[in-house]
Amino acid sequence: MREHERIVHELAAPQHGAVSRTQLRARGVAARQLHPLIQRGVVVPVTREVVTIAGSGPSRQRSAIAAVLDVPGRTALSHAASLAWWAVPGFDRQRTGLEVISTRPARTAISSLSHVHTTTLLPDSHVTILDGLWITVPVRAIFDLAGRLHPDRMARIVDAAWRQRLVTGRLLRRTLAELAEHGRSGIQTMRSIIEERGDDYRPPESNTEARFEKLMAEIGVVSFERQVDAGGIDWVGRVDFRDRHLPLVAEIDSATFHLSLTDRTDDLARREALEHAGFVVVSVSDFDVWNRPRIVQEQVIEARRTALRR
């Protein structure tokens, strides 16, 4: 294999078959050396900047790498695309459009492969390499999205990333301090989300639990704790919500996981054990949590009245 062809393959190998002309020039492969490889079918042009190794199968990963390489300079996959690559729930890698962020001037940051955002601030701590792909870290991607998504959805995204241990309270606060003074949109949204949670926050196990907590806050009930043990002398199990001050337990039943006769029998036995231990148990369905919130709130209000009388 000739030297120039060897360099092309060497650079493209960890990048799923994609390589940029800028990378090649840095290794001594100029346009005049690359042109014969194109003529021979060794590499295939994708854009004026990016080529791929002939025969390397297309993939979503290679498309993302090519999108980043197509904007020379300090560039990384970003925004929703970044969160999709980090597998944050709500972002699908195959369906989410490719977005990159670059420190290049806007007039030179143009690509047919992705939507290009420009920034004046992209420190080393905000980017990393994931399977050959330069990508923003999850906390930076979250802040980049905050200016264009509804605050409620941003709160769910933060919780989802927190559950996956992709962010922490301290990391969120540090990133807020880094970005707040640059006049970014969405900073107030992120500041509110961070202040509501604090460093020791424990995110809900699911979006349904987060929705239930929001419904409770609307009626002034803030004493529920999530996923705690319950029972008397004998341990009954872990419940979805337990009131800190009242003998009250709230369980969210999922139609998906509680359809079989065995499931219903187990649920009944669990409820009886909790009631035997002295708890008032209110069971709400996940359907009602999302579609009939007032019914859920009324169920809890009535259960609290019963618990107060005990």
pLDDT tens digits, one per residue of 38-90: 899 899 999 999 999 998 888 999 999 999 999 988 999 999 999 999 999 99
How much is the CA Rg of the chain, to the nearest whole Å? 26
Encoded amino acid at 123, one letter: P
Cα 49 to Cα 176: distance, rounded to the nearest angstrom: 35
pLDDT tens digits, one per residue of 196-230: 998 888 888 888 998 999 999 999 999 999 887 66
Q: Are the C-beta atoms of residues 135 and 75 closer than 8 Å to each other? A: no
Architecture category of domain 3-56 in CATH = Orthogonal Bundle (1.10)
Boundaries of every domain in the chain: 3-56, 64-197, 207-308
- What CATH number was assigned to the domain covering residues 207-308? 3.40.960.10
Which pTM does this prediction carry?
Answer: 0.74
Q: Which of 55, 83, 59, 224 has its CA nearest to residue 140? A: 83
